Amino acid sequence: MEAEGRFIAEKPVRLTGVRRQSRTSIAGEATWVRTTAVRERCSVELVAVLLNSGEVEVRSRYFECLPT
């Protein structure tokens, strides 16, 4: 999950709120600060899902950036 967060943010992220949602999925939130025209705090929810094949897929949702 942290690797997916780093990929989205294009920089290191902080992974928080990691919790099991079911027997096959775990969710957490990646947060980071970015500076474009203004300084923003960004976050994205990440969900790691164990597939029937035995592989793990990480999905992202609820991406947002708010001015700090």
| Residue 50: exposure state from Cβ atoms within 10 A (0-12, 13-18, ≥19) | middle
- Domain residue spans of the chain: 2-67
- Per-residue pLDDT tens digits for 4-54: 999 999 999 999 999 999 999 999 999 999 998 899 999 999 999 999 999
pLDDT at position 36 is 85
- The CA distances from residue 61 to 4, 5, 37, 58, in Å, are 12, 11, 24, 10
Q: What angle do CA 22, 15, 62 make, to 5 degrees?
A: 70
pLDDT at position 38 is 93
pLDDT at position 32 is 97
pLDDT at position 25 is 98
pLDDT at position 20 is 97
pLDDT at position 10 is 95
What is the residue whose two structure tokens read 């035995």? 54
CATH among 2.20.25, 3.40.50, 3.30.420, 1.10.10 for 2-67: 2.20.25
Q: Are 56 and 50 in contact (CB under 8 A)?
A: yes
